């Protein structure tokens, strides 16, 4: 079984490029060039240098001793939360900004939900001196004020998405419309492993530095490259894609994907796409997505702004369908509890997205000598208000 | 011969109007179609609303959102127009995004279109190559013409490919833009219109996006077989309701 993208842009039956003709030249230009550019020695050198000196990579692989003791197994945390800007998102934006420059683009657009990808994009645009426009749902702008301020401080223009449900999916629509209107000078930095081919593959490759590091870091810790499990939370699925990438074809490494159940799978307020979604087309790719019987895309819910996307990347849809990955869903309450637990046991305040991945230990039993690597995709600073309100701190 | 093909053979410039089904009110569909035909429109695109219309500007987005709120769906639309061929004889095209069709079932959708007397489909996010490899034979089985878009950025090679698998007309997007975002055509656009006209394609071209009045209609049809108006018509019914549709078309054709 192949879990990577094929030459037509599909992961099994998922993926492809379902785009209006207006976008074809942009996407085709990228498709024809992305692998070539990524293979250039000068590209690799610049990418790796920036990841090291600017992002602060490699991010530590940390053995969480007290957490491990509590659950009687061996838990390692891949500390993406220690990256510059506080999450894994910057791995992708560094890669894509270098790609954009090599394609001769001068204007950058991006979508953002909670603002993390918007901040990571604004950051690299400032770094490279490129114009940056970030689309953000009007409702998200209101509830994520600090990130809006960050983007502005970094020189980006934040444009409210006023259409539809005025959240992440609509911000994505607006960014795509911008790209249709500006086909020549603009590069669209998609923030997750979604969108038309080659985006899911390109984003996955930029994020794959995560699993590449896990291999040699685990070797240092344990004398072996392969853990028994890799675990990551999934919204669109970019941190998960990066965490799994080098283990996709290592069948003795089990893959666990953790979705947001919100208030519960059957509550009507959930973002567990693998359970509630059905095959369809969203933002240019065929994948699993939450929709009405009539094919209208619905609005998901999670307490975590980074996980409430109605679709999931096509690679993950394929992993779900083939059974390569085990999908679990974690409610708001369990995620919040697991987040607070990590604070108390390890002195780390995790992003609520990452807390979902940490919450599986109450539901899944591991052997005492199992080695489990959990992607700690982001830090919790941005979620402080949610933590304060939830725990009445 | 399909009604679209017949219409394209008439010795005149064609006016095609797009409207969003279910807007302004859920049950306006049939009377809008009938009134458009009466007012001299040559062809109609019935917009099947979608929650996430990527290729559309604010006007059509807003009308789609409202139409869905009003209760429009694929099922409802088919019910509303099931007897449309008793009163309307001009070509009817359904324009919509691919996901609702996929959920209805592509074959079931096409079959239903044939039963009703729909002549063609425009599906902006169904790429030419996917259509060619997976759906072409289904469309042909049910006698439906699939209409493809080209833009100023579409390469000559791709235009020729699109021409080769089209059997109605080519929808020429006037500029790199979403719907409803242009006002008037400049030299860049007329240059592009000319360039395409000179390619002598097998299929006639109909220009859409940015046609809003008599001036832009005349400009566009100087180079093409016809023109499509969408956003400007939606704006008109938003402001004036659906009682005076003939006023709108009269002003376009003068």
CA distance A281 to A174: 17
- Inter-chain touch A25–B153, beta carbons under 8 Å: yes
pLDDT tens digits for A137-159?
998 898 788 999 999 999 999 99
* Contact B240/A at CB under 8 A: no
- Inter-chain touch A25–B125, beta carbons under 8 Å: no
Residue by residue, what is the 3-state secondary structure of chain A?
CCCCCCCCCEECCEECCCCCHHHHHHHHHHHHHHHHHHHCHHHHHHHHHHHHHHHCCCCCEEECHHHHHHHCCEEEEEEHHHCHHHECHHHHHHHHHHHHHHCCCCEEEEEECCCHHHHHHHHHHHHHCCEEEEEEEHHHHHHCHHHHHHHHHCCCEEEEECCCCCCHHHHHHHHHHHHHHCCCCEEEECCCCCCCCCHHHHHHHHHCHHHHHHHHHHHHHHCCCCCCEEEEECCCCHHHHHHHHHHCCCCCCEEEEEEEEECCHHHCCCCCHHHHCEEEEECCEEEEECECCCCCECCCCCCCCCCCCCECCHHHHHHHHHCCEEEEEEEHHHHHHHHHHHHHHHCCCECHHHHHHHHHHHCCCCCCCCEEEEEECEECHHHHHHHHHHHCC
CA distance A85 to B175: 38
Question: Which residues lie below 8 Å from residue A220, measured CB to CB, with a gap of 6+?
Answer: none
pTM of the model as a whole: 0.96
Question: Which residues lie below 8 Å from residue B226, measured CB to CB, with a gap of 6+?
Answer: B13, B14, B15, B16, B42, B43, B169, B204, B206, B207
Residue B184 pLDDT class (50, 70, 90 cuts): confident
Closest CA to B197 of B222, B166, B167: B222
Interface probe for A, chosen from B49, B63, B71, B103 (most Cβ of A below 10 Å), is B103
ipTM of this model? 0.94
- Inter-chain touch A294–B62, beta carbons under 8 Å: no
Cα distance from B173 to chain A (closest Cα, Å)?
8
* Contact B130/A at CB under 8 A: yes
Closest CA to A298 of A316, A280, A319: A280
- Inter-chain touch B154–A293, beta carbons under 8 Å: no
CA distance B164 to B153: 18
Residue of B nearest to A176 (CA): B54
Separation of first and last alpha carbons in chain A: 49
* Contact B58/A at CB under 8 A: yes
> Is residue B49 helix, strand or coil?
coil
- Inter-chain touch B125–A182, beta carbons under 8 Å: no
Query: What is the set of active-site residues of B?
Result: 45, 56
Tell me the pLDDT of chain B averaged across its residues: 95
The domains found in chain A, sorted by start residue, are 11-50+89-203 (3.40.50.1100), 57-87+207-391 (3.40.50.1100)
From chain B, the residues in CB contact with A25 under 8 A are: 151, 153-155
From chain A, the residues in CB contact with B174 under 8 A are: none
* Contact B149/A at CB under 8 A: yes
Question: Which residues lie below 8 Å from residue B200, measured CB to CB, with a gap of 6+?
Answer: none
Q: Estimate to the nearest angstrom the gap between the alpha carbon of B183 and the chain centroid.
A: 19
* Contact B98/A at CB under 8 A: yes
The mean pLDDT value for A377-388 works out to 94
pLDDT of residue A272: 95
pLDDT of residue B182: 67
B15, with CB counted inside 10 A (0-12, 13-18, 19+), is buried
pLDDT tens digits for A304-353?
988 989 999 999 999 999 999 999 999 999 999 999 999 999 999 999 99
From chain A, the residues in CB contact with B106 under 8 A are: none
Of B99, B127, B181, the CB nearest to A295: B99
pLDDT of residue B1: 82
- Inter-chain touch A173–B52, beta carbons under 8 Å: yes
Cα distance from B62 to chain A (closest Cα, Å)?
7
pLDDT of residue B178: 78
Q: Estimate to the nearest angstrom the gap between the alpha carbon of A162 and the chain centroid.
A: 24
pLDDT of residue A155: 98
pLDDT tens digits for A239-259?
999 999 999 999 999 999 999
Answer yes or no: is pLDDT of B180 > 80: no
pLDDT tens digits for B138-175?
999 999 999 999 999 999 999 999 999 999 999 999 98
> Is residue B177 helix, strand or coil?
coil
CA distance A319 to A337: 28
Share of chain A above pLDDT 90, in %: 94
- Inter-chain touch B178–A181, beta carbons under 8 Å: yes
Residue of A nearest to B173 (CA): A22
Question: Which residues lie below 8 Å from residue A223, measured CB to CB, with a gap of 6+?
Answer: none
The domains found in chain B, sorted by start residue, are 14-253 (3.20.20.70)
């Amino acid at each position: 079984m192949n879990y990577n993208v094929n030459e037509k842009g599909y992961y099994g039956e998922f993926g492809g490029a379902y785009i209006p003709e207006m976008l074809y030249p942009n996407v085709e230009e990228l498709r024809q060039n992305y692998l070539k550019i990524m293979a250039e020695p000068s590209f690799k050198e610049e990418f790796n240098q920036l990841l090291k000196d600017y992002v602060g990579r490699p991010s530590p692989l940390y053995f969480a001793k007290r957490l491990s003791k509590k659950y009687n197994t061996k838990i390692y945390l891949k500390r993406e939360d220690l990256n510059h800007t506080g999450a894994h998102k910057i791995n992708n934006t560094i890669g894509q900004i270098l790609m954009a420059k090599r394609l001769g683009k001068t204007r950058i657009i991006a979508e953002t939900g909670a603002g993390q990808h918007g901040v990571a994009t604004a950051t690299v645009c400032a770094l490279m001196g490129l114009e940056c426009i970030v689309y953000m749902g009007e409702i998200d702008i209101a509830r994520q004020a600090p990130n809006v301020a960050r983007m502005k401080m970094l020189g980006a223009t934040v444009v409210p998405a006023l259409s539809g449900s005025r959240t992440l999916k609509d911000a994505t629509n607006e960014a795509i419309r911008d790209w249709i209107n500006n086909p020549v000078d603009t590069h669209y930095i998609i923030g997750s492993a979604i969108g038309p081919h080659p985006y899911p593959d390109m984003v996955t490759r930029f994020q794959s530095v995560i699993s590449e590091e896990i291999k040699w870091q685990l070797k240092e810790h344990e004398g072996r490259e392969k853990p028994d499990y890799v675990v990551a939370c999934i919204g669109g699925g970019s941190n998960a894609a990066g965490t799994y990438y080098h283990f996709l074809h290592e069948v003795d490494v089990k893959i666990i994907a953790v979705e947001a159940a919100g208030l519960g799978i059957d509550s009507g307020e959930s973002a567990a796409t693998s359970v509630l979604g059905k095959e369809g087309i969203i933002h240019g790719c065929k994948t699993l997505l939450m929709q009405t019987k009539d094919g209208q895309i619905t609005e998901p819910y999670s307490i975590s702004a980074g996980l409430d996307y109605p679709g999931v990347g096509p690679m993950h849809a394929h992993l779900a369908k083939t059974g390569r990955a085990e999908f679990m869903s974690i409610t708001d309450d369990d995620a919040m509890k697991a987040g607070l637990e990590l604070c108390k046991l390890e002195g780390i305040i995790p992003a609520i997205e990452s807390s979902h991945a940490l919450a599986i230990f109450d539901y899944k039993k591991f052997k005492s000598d199992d080695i489990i690597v959990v992607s700690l995709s982001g830090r919790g600073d941005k979620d402080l208000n949610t933590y304060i309100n939830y725990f009445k701190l | 011969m399909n009604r679209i093909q017949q219409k394209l053979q008439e010795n005149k410039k064609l006016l095609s109007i797009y409207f969003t089904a279910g807007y302004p009110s859920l049950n306006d569909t049939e009377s809008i179609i009938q009134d458009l035909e009466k007012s001299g429109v040559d062809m109609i695109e019935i917009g099947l609303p979608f929650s996430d219309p990527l290729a559309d500007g604010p006007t059509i987005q807003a009308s789609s959102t409202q139409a869905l709120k009003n209760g429009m769906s694929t099922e409802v639309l088919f019910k509303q127009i099931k007897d449309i061929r008793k009163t309307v004889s001009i070509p009817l095209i359904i324009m919509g995004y691919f996901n609702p069709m996929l959920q209805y079932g592509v074959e079931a959708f096409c079959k239903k279109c044939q039963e009703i007397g729909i002549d063609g489909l425009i599906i902006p996010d169904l790429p030419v190559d996917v259509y060619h490899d997976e759906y072409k034979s289904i469309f042909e089985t049910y006698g439906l013409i699939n209409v493809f878009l080209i833009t100023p950025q579409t390469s000559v090679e791709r235009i020729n490919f699109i021409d080769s698998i089209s059997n109605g007309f080519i929808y020429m997007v006037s500029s790199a833009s979403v719907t409803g975002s242009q006002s008037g055509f400049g030299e860049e656009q007329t240059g592009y219109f000319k360039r395409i006209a000179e390619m002598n394609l097998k299929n006639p071209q109909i220009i859409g996006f940015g046609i809003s009045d008599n001036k832009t209609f005349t400009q566009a049809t100087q180079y093409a077989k016809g023109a499509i108006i969408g956003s400007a018509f939606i704006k008109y019914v938003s402001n004036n309701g659906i009682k005076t549709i003939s006023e709108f078309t009269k002003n376009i054709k003068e």
